[in-house]
Amino acid sequence: MTCRILALFLAALMILTACSAPAAPAPQSPEPPPSSSALEPLPEPPQEPEPEPEVDNSWTFDAPENHGMDPEVLADLHAALPNSAISSMVIVKDGAIVDEYYADGYDENSTFAIHSCSKSFTSALVGIAIHQGYLNGVEDLLSDYLPQVAELPGTKKDLTIRHLLTQTSGLEWYEWGSGYHNWEEFRSAPNWVEYILGRNQAAQPGQLFNYSTGNTHLLAAALEAATGKPLLEYGKETLFDALGMETISWGTDPQGVADGGNGVVISARDAARFGQLYLQGGVWKGRQLVPAEWVAQSTSVQNPGPGGSTGQYGYQWWIRPYAVNAFGIYRAPHGAKQYDAYHAFGAWGQYIFVVPELELVTVITCVKPQDSYAPRPFFTDFVLAACIPEEAAGEGGTAQ
């Protein structure tokens, strides 16, 4: 009995000991090694692109004698200008403004309607639009962009961009010379495009030169249809802003189409930028804004024009040589010489002259109705006369 009690006691003691012993730790899975990606540095946040440096479009100013121009002749010019209808005149030589004149009430910030000089601006935008693929080329049919032309009778459906650029559309128009003009009828029409397209076909397209602001207005309408933008907006995006033209505005017809042949209003200095751009082959501050080939084609003879002293015609530019003292206001001290030139030309005497041989651009604006040719002697008989020929410079002149 005693042995049985002792055995029970020992069994109970063993059970108690086992219950009070600490539990063995549960086996744990080993931690995975750190991945290679966790050891790599975090990628750098993307860097903002460096903004392009702002182009300085301000003009350079310099004394004329530093650019081979006689300051005494320019002083005579300033003495003669107050007796004329000229409101502003800016002379740029070698890329610097060397002389400028403003009539009383005007200054470098004044803007002027340059009338048909606008045509040369529209031409530049045609060249850019071809380069950008909005137009295929000058042989494109007008009906490609103005579908209503395809429904017109006769040969109107054959009109091309080239016919409009060269003033050879053949559409009946009376704007050049004396006699009856349909200008007021055109400008008072409720729809200018319809009015132009409604004119009789007086000659086969491409056959005859007949100067017409209506032709250029059709170019503007085609450009706006091709680009889907107002002409001024397209011009600012592709050309005017890059040139630093801060003053330009552009009138429109009753439907809001830019007045491509007559509507630009601009300061003389900004007009000179346009002339300087063409002098430089379409390049401005290192950028090719207008294709060089387009500049060359536009300022090369495409047809003989109307005859007479205005010149031959390119793509909305006039081409002709100008001789010193050609019109007899002033007899220059350096003798006569002739220079090849081209120019934009507007009613009442608006001009942008470009003379490549001299690296010369001259802008003239006039605000009063007058003979459109009246300002030309101030260019030939003073500005060209002030340019000292190399042979004269070799005899003590101040040519650069």
Beta sheet of 249-250, edge-to-edge order: 112-113, 264-266, 249-250
Q: Give the pLDDT confidence score for residue 392 in this predicted structure.
A: 56
Please tell me the distance from the alpha carbon of residue 126 to that of residue 149, in angstroms, as a whole number.
19
CA distance 122 to 161: 12
Alpha-carbon gap, residue 17 to 271, rounded angstroms: 110
Chain centroid to CA 296: 15
What is the pLDDT at residue 27?
Answer: 44
Contact 311, 319 (CB under 8 A): yes
At residue 52, the pLDDT reads 62
d(CA 311, CA 320): 5
pLDDT at 44: 65
pLDDT of 23: 44
pLDDT in 10s for each residue of the chain, 400 residues? 444 544 444 444 454 444 444 444 444 444 554 444 445 555 666 666 666 667 899 999 999 999 999 999 999 999 999 999 999 999 999 999 999 999 999 999 999 999 999 999 999 999 999 999 999 999 999 999 999 999 999 999 999 999 999 999 999 999 998 889 999 999 999 999 999 999 999 999 999 999 999 999 999 999 999 999 999 999 999 999 999 999 999 999 999 999 999 999 999 999 999 999 999 999 999 999 999 999 999 999 999 999 899 999 999 999 999 998 878 787 767 667 899 999 999 999 999 999 999 999 999 999 999 999 999 999 999 999 999 876 555 444 333 2
Contact 201, 104 (CB under 8 A): no
Q: What is the predicted pLDDT for the residue at 151?
A: 96
Exposure pattern of 207-233 as b/e (b: 16+ CB <10 Å)?
eebbbbbbbbbbbbbbbbebbeebbbe
Q: What's 391's DSSP letter? A: H
Burial (0-12, 13-18, 19+ Cβ within 10 Å), 53:
exposed
- The pLDDT value given to residue 36: 44
DSSP string for residues in 94-113? TTEEEEEEE-TT--TT--EE
For helices 213-227 and 118-132, the axis angle rounded to 10 degrees is 30
pLDDT of residue 8: 46
Distances from the Cα of 236 to the Cα of 122, 196, 217, 245, 246, angstroms: 12, 27, 19, 9, 10
- Contact of 208 with 168, CB cutoff 8 Å: yes
Pairing of strands 287-288, 312-313: unpaired
Please give the structure tokens belonging to residue 70.
């006689």
Whole-angstrom distance, CA of residue 23 vs CA of residue 18: 10
Largest interatomic CA distance in the chain: 159
Exposed, middle or buried: residue 125 (CB in 10 Å: 0-12, 13-18, 19+)?
buried
CA angle 375, 376, 382 (to 5 degrees): 95
Beta-bridge partners for 141: 160
Check: CB of residue 231 under 8 Å from CB of residue 260: yes
**∠ Cα 248 377 95 (to 5°):** 45
d(CA 73, CA 70): 6
> How far apart are alpha carbons 194 and 89 in whole angstroms?
38
How far apart, in whole angstroms, are the C-alpha atoms of residue 318 and residue 300? Answer: 9
pLDDT score for 55: 86
